[in-house]
Amino acid sequence: MLIPSRTQCMELLGQFDMPQHIRNHSLLVAEVALLLAARLNQNSSGLDLRLIEAAALLHDVGKMTSLKTGENHAVLGAQMIEGIVAPAVARIVEEHISLDSSQVAGPVTESLIVNYSDKRVRHDQVVLLEERYHDLIERYAKAPSHVQFLRHKLDLCFALERTIFSHLTIEPRGPEIMGITIDRIKGA
């Protein structure tokens, strides 16, 4: 099993009847992730760009099914592509919503890049972490414990952001990231 190309990933999303809005989200996540990884590689990070691109494009492959079944979309997505793509891709898909304090200090891995990049894209727009988590809290927090959980995850993401950007000459609010749009990706 190989790491699928961008075209193969988009074909897979089509096979799984992924709606266009989730495809657009995944395209943006992939672009943010590739930008960060390429910049980190300029500092000898040795990140696998093909792995990052494939995992970012496929990270939400289980989203639509999970909305119907109530299953964890990351675990479900990994199961859906298991045996179709390289195990490393499925592992990152499974890990893309998991983050704990032991990871945020680094080293920065392909999985952490995809995880962080996903948190920078709300629907089909690159946003700051605060905006993304505000949206998550509004849509999903049904109890005070949910709000507390998401605020803790936001703190972890901020710590990861500091780790990632400590190796870069660009800023989280910089035009390099904030300027990534779906129209630019699609060449419109």
Please write the tens of the pLDDT for every residue from 7-41.
999 999 999 999 999 999 999 999 999 999 999 99
pLDDT at 68 over 90: no
Domain boundaries, the chain: 6-186
Q: Which helix (H) or strand (E) holds 126?
A: strand 125-126
pLDDT at 106 over 60: yes
The pLDDT of residue 188 is 52
State mean pLDDT over 80-92.
95
Mean of all residue pLDDT scores within the chain = 93
Note the pTM of the prediction, 2 decimals.
0.94
Instruction: Count how many Cα atoms sit within 13 Å of the Cα of residue 71 in the half-sphere of its side chain.
Output: 18
The pLDDT of residue 22 is 94
Rounded CA separation 51/57 (Å): 10
Q: How confident is the model at residue 133 (pLDDT cuts 50, 70, 90)?
A: very high
Return the CATH fold of 6-186: Hypothetical protein af1432 (1.10.3210)
Q: How far is CA 162 from the centre of its chain?
A: 17
Rounded CA separation 20/182 (Å): 12
Listing DSSP states for 138-188 in one string gives: HHH--SHHHHHHHHHHHHHHHHHHHHHHTT-SS-TTSHHHHT--HHHHHT-
Q: How far, in Å, are 147, 151, 170 from residue 135 at the CA level? A: 11, 12, 25
- Record the tokens describing residue 135, joined without a space: 């949206």
